[in-house]
């Protein structure tokens, strides 16, 4: 248990300090990077989405994390309706792995 704790502590310390050392080695000559979306030619929901990205990365992330599963469920339900409508019934199929 002691050997594992020492190894885990050392690897945690290295993973925390290594990026700081790499950043400190840069010399400070580089300009900071600014991440923005170009909204000049956008309109409607695309402009709203890009402006939300530019204004608040936290709100953009939260809304993206909420929207992706909801759209996945809606697409799954829609696919189930379409397959049932064309005659594919996945609920009563026989499995070949008996």
Q: What is the DSSP code string of 49-85?
A: HHHHHHH-HHHHHHHHHHHHHHHHHHHHHHHHHHHHH
Q: How far apart are CA 53 and CA 62, in angstroms?
A: 11
Question: What pLDDT is recorded for position 89?
Answer: 76
Q: What is the CB neighbour count within 10 angstroms for residue 33?
A: 5
Tally the C-alpha atoms within 13 A of residue 12's C-alpha that lie toward its C-beta. 6
Question: What pLDDT is recorded for position 86?
Answer: 92
- H/E stretch holding 10 reads helix 2-24
Low-confidence stretches of the chain (pLDDT beneath 50) = none
Q: Where are the domains positioned within the chain?
A: 66-91
Question: What pLDDT is recorded for position 26?
Answer: 62
Indicate the pTM of the whole model.
0.53
């Amino acid at each position: 248990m002691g050997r594992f704790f020492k190894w885990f502590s050392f690897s945690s310390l290295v993973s925390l300090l290594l990026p700081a050392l790499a950043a400190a080695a840069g010399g400070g000559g580089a300009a900071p990077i600014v991440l923005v979306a170009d909204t000049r030619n956008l309109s409607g929901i695309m402009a709203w989405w890009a402006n939300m990205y530019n204004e608040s990365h936290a709100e953009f992330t939260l809304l993206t994390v909420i929207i992706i599963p909801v759209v996945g469920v809606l697409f799954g339900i829609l696919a189930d309706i379409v397959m049932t409508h064309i005659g594919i019934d996945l609920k009563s199929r026989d499995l070949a792995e008996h």
